[in-house]
Structure 1
Amino acid sequence: MSDTHAVLYDPRGLVEAELPLDRALHEALITAVLAWKNPDLAPRDYEQIALRLAGHARALAADVQRHAAALPKSDDRGALAEVVLREADGRLSAPLKDSAHCVQNRARLVRPLYTRLDRLTEPVPAAP
């Protein structure tokens, strides 16, 4: 540990699981980014927005993973979550670029993660 920061050992992601995702803020950012026609931002601005969306997508993917892991193996929602998580992992592994296209791709990545999280957290109707 140094004087400037502390290293947290949290291999199971329990601290992150307790942090709320600021959904409204990120959905507003996504809406704005996807509405861009010909933005003229500095490369560093594109990079910062892409980093923010990528970080949020990673936190969201971890949340989806935790919820999916808690489901019984027979629950199809877990299998669907795995498909979305594989897609997210592949897209997040692509290098960030300082362009509107990259930022918009990161924004498009967050939406299916929220859709999957919503489906994992909604109550399942009881069988008749």
Structure 2
Amino acid sequence: MKIEHIALWTYRLEEMKAFYEKYFNAVSNDLYHNRKKGFRSFFLSFGDGARLELMQMEGIPLNRNSTIEQYTGLIHFAISVKSREEVDSLTARLKADGFPLVDGPRQTGDGYYESVILDPDGNRIEITA
């Protein structure tokens, strides 16, 4: 078995799509639009592994979780890059472009080299090697 995809609700569908394409080389499918439900989505692929579905629909309430504090439930997902140097350079690029750095880059006790940044909606992404 494998995780097929993870989905995120957003009110910034095009901005979020552009973010993942620009910084993580995501490849998007064409926009899916269910006019009856007012639902729109993109599936983003990253070469291999799970895809990311970005979804938008009026009436979905904003997330009450803090972007810094942690709560039960899904708190982050990780995107693996090829090297520690790539973790460092991508982290520096994201930080320079104004995206919040939550932690790192650092070596973790369980063997990862990672940083944690926030996407435009405040979702935590671990950049790991």
TM-score by length of 2: 0.24
Q: Which protein shows a greater Rg?
A: 1
Greater relative contact order structure (CA < 8 Å, 6+ sep): 1
More helix as a share of residues: 1
TM-score by length of 1: 0.24
